[in-house]
Amino acid sequence: MASITAKEEIRRIRLGRTAEKLQQAIADQQLREGAKPPFRHGVVTPVFAETVQYAKMDEVRLVDPTEAAITVILPILKPTDSSQQIVVYNYSSSGNNITIASSGSDLINGSETTVFGAAYTGAVLLASPVGWVRYII
């Protein structure tokens, strides 16, 4: 395993702290909406330099495409997945593309992939009986 620079380590620590803050904000929102602990907010996963990643249901993916474009592959939908979601968010100032690709015969708003490249933007992908529905955040 290659060693990482001090700058890279600082970036990873900051991203981890952001993931914790985002997870807490989600829990706070669910509490305000009347949910009782334990909350169903999934996992916040910071992502660094991998170029291909596999998302999980009810997950928040904080993606940093500074070094290269990144592809996030969605899981194959099952009938029981309806209304579950995955959030993919570009945490960096990078304009490199993040491609979200469906698996199997599932589609995202009628297409096999969806792409965004603006800094500090993201997408909420909601599982539905007809495939993935993407909302821009």
Note the pLDDT tens digit of each residue in 57-113.
888 888 888 888 888 889 888 888 887 888 888 888 888 899 999 988 999 999 999
- Ranges of each domain in the chain: 41-136
Q: Does domain 41-136 have CATH number 2.60.120.640?
A: yes
User: What is the model's pLDDT at position 110?
Assistant: 93
Tens of pLDDT, residues 15-60: 666 666 666 666 666 566 665 544 444 555 555 556 666 777 888 8
Instruction: Quote the CA–CA distance of 66 and 90 in Å, as a whole number.
Output: 10
- For 5, 67, 102, 103, the CA distances from 111, given in Å and listed in that order, are 39, 26, 8, 11
Angstrom distance (rounded) from CA 57 to CA 84: 6
Residue spans of beta strands (DSSP E) within the chain: 43-47, 52-54, 59-63, 70-73, 85-90, 98-101, 113-116, 122-128, 131-136
Helices (H) and strands (E) in the chain, counts: 1, 9
The amino acid that residue 12 corresponds to is R
